[in-house]
Amino acid sequence: MVGRTPEYLSKKIQGPEMKLIVLFILAVPFATLAFAGATVVVGSAVHNISATGPHGLTEAVYNYSSAANTNGSAFAGMNATSQWYLVTLALAMLIGRFFTIIPVLAIGGSMVRKRTVRQSAGTFKTDTPLFLGLLLAVTVIVGALTYFAVLALGPAVEHLTGHF
């Protein structure tokens, strides 16, 4: 958006808010992918994965994604009772809960302190189908770029090789 600052609720969204939004968006994928990647590399953690190959990666990613997204369910056959899993799943839960709450509260506090601005010809309204379409497109693109590599290495390889 060259030439205009985005607004929400008649308040300008500026650089500090955008940095907090990026932190919010990347917290859960970072916890999920970093811990799952470490799990498939650390020897003691690999022994607790019931399947080998691409399905084992899928198990690890599912467990950490579930923990970081505050669900906490485990993939079938995963033995999450080792010291590695107890610590890393707890850290994934903490990151998923608190490292998303903190930026949102900071954004809210920042927005409360800002003054309202009048609507102008450059205001991009948030109650239009164009905004909804752009929001959905950005959400799908960010989600796809974040998890595409894991989907390609896990379920896609598993399907193509017939290795279940």
In the chain, at which residue ranges do the beta strands (DSSP E only) sit? 7-8, 11-12
**Secondary-structure class of domain 7-161 per CATH:** mainly alpha
10 Å CB burial of residue 34 (0-12, 13-18, 19+) is: middle
Place of tokens 């020897």: 43
pTM strictly above 0.75: yes
The identity of residue 164, as a single letter, is F
Q: What is the pLDDT of residues 68-118, one digit of tens each?
A: 887 777 766 677 778 888 898 899 999 998 889 999 999 999 999 999 888
How far apart CA 127 and CA 7 sit, in angstroms, is 12
Instruction: Indicate the domain borders of the chain.
Output: 7-161
Q: For 47, phi and psi rounded to 5 degrees? A: -65, -20
Q: Which residues contact 112 (CB under 8 A, 6 or more apart)?
A: none
Do residues 27 and 92 touch, judged by C-beta distance below 8 A? no
Q: CA–CA distance from 156 to each of 4, 8, 30, 111 (Å)?
A: 42, 39, 21, 43
Do residues 77 and 51 touch, judged by C-beta distance below 8 A? yes
Q: What is the pLDDT of residues 108-144, one digit of tens each?
A: 999 999 998 888 777 777 788 988 998 899 999 988 8
